[in-house]
Amino acid sequence: MLIAIDHGNYAVKTPSFSFVSGLSEHTVKPPLTDEIIEYAGRYWTLSGKRLNYMRDKTRDERYFILSLFAIAKELEAHGSGTGIQKIDLSIGLPPEHYGALKEKFADYFKNRDLIKFVYKDKPYNIIIDHVMVFPQAFAAVVPNSSKIVNTLRVFVIDIGGYTTDVLLLKNGKPDLQFCRSLETGIITMNNEIMRKVSALHDMLIEDEHISAVLTGADTILPDDVKQTICGATKLHANNILNQLRELQVDLRSNPAIFIGGGSILLRPFLEQSPLVAKADFVDNPNANALGYEMLGNQKLHILTQAPGSEGLA
């Protein structure tokens, strides 16, 4: 079974699921929830408090545990049994980090022999076979590649949790010689908004309050606080566009495709900017995971036809 996972700094996503990239570790089985993973003698639960940003997600086991949650959710959704199951992983990295971290990220999941864990009191036994790593951002537009294959130049801009990643496509193909990563994602924006709201209104807010205001959801926040949130969001969107111009990414002369959960939140401000001439938006925050799934299936077909292909990344 192939499982695609987008290891975001704000949220982990599969084609079917999304959850905050946060974990709590326990020495004994915690009460009041059944969504628990037991692995290597420890208990883990998901947390609404995201992990601190890690450029290299292989530094410790936490992103592996988050991956087990993603795998377990997909296995449960497909009604998989308790026998030993071979899993192929399709994952990705920001384009600028792809060359340097690709092999390390693949090795993080490979060579673990039989992985035994319990999820929701049900035992799972998996073997990770192939691990395929693809460039983030490019993967998100793969399902709609027919629309851009004849476009001379288009910038794919992925506004994620901590970073804004930019990739240039020429006639639908990624130009990995031109890829950039800016530390201007939604986490950075939210931290600045929380600071402003605290300083100006003596009020403590969380990520959820900001998302609610920007998406038009119901909230009891006063109007002046909402105005502060929207004003700071507009400044952040303009800051991203100005930083892109400094990197020679001029969206007045080149079309753009905005992807990622951050792009969804910032869409009204990006569309209204005079610095953006023509932009399309991929509204599905799981777009990278869906792209990894499509690319992974294509590569698996090639790998399984070639002799001696076991375990290739």
DSSP 12-77: EE-SS-EEES-EEEESS--SS-S-EEEETTEEEEE-SSPPPP-SSTTSSSHHHHHHHHHHHHHHHH
274 and 143 together in one domain: yes
Shared domain for 127 and 167, answered yes or no, is no
Q: Is residue 312, in this structure, part of any structural domain at all?
A: no
CATH number of the domain residue 52 falls in: 3.30.420.40
Write the DSSP assignment of 77-130 as a string of letters.
HTT--SSEEEEEEEEEE-HHHHHHHHHHHHHHHSS--SEEEEETTEEEEEEEEE
Helix, strand, coil percentages (3-state) for the chain, rounded to 5, are 40, 25, 35
Per-residue confidence (pLDDT) for residue 311, from 0 to 100:
46
Instruction: Assess whether pLDDT exceeds 80 at residue 309.
Output: no
Nearest to 258 by CA among 162, 173, 178, 155: 155
Q: What digits encode the pLDDT tens for the residues 171-188? A: 888 887 888 888 899 999
- Of 187, 167, 162, 186, nearest to 177 by C-alpha is 167
Are 118 and 143 members of one domain?
no
Using CB atoms within 10 A of its CB, is residue 7 exposed (0-12), middle (13-18) or buried (19+)?
A: buried
Q: Quick check: 310 pLDDT over 60?
A: no
Domain identity same for 217 and 246: yes
Asked whether residue 6 is domain-assigned, the answer is: yes
Residues 6+ away with beta carbon under 8 Å from 25 = 42, 43, 44
Name, in order, each residue with C-beta under 8 angstroms of 203's C-beta and a sequence gap of 6 or more: 197, 225
Residue type, 247: L
* Whether 219 and 236 share a structural domain: yes
Q: What is the pTM of this model?
A: 0.87
Please give the Cα distance from 184 to 188 (Å, whole number): 6
Query: Who wins on pLDDT, 176 or 41?
Result: 41
With beta carbons less than 8 A apart as the criterion, state whether 157 and 257 touch.
Answer: yes
Whether residues 122 and 158 share a domain: the answer is: no
| Domain ranges, residue 79 | 2-135+289-305
Main-chain phi, psi angles of 147, to 5 degrees: -80, -20
Q: Which H or E element spans position 228?
A: helix 223-246
Q: Look at residue 311 and tell me if it is in a domain.
A: no
pLDDT, averaged across the chain: 91
Q: How confident is the model at residue 151 (pLDDT cuts 50, 70, 90)?
A: confident
115 with 148, same domain: the answer is no
Q: Let me know whether 197 and 298 are in one domain.
A: no
Confidence of residue 306 (pLDDT cuts 50, 70, 90): low
Least confident of 35-39, 95-99, 246-250: 95-99
Instruction: Confirm whether 310 is domain-assigned.
Output: no
Residue 277 shares a structural domain with residue 188: yes
Span 254-264, pLDDT tens digits:
999 999 889 99
| 88 contacts 127 by C-beta, under 8 angstroms | no
**Total domains, the chain:** 2
Residues near 160 by beta carbon (within 8 Å), at least 6 away in sequence = 8, 9, 10, 185, 186, 260, 261, 262
Q: What is the pLDDT of residue 53?
A: 86
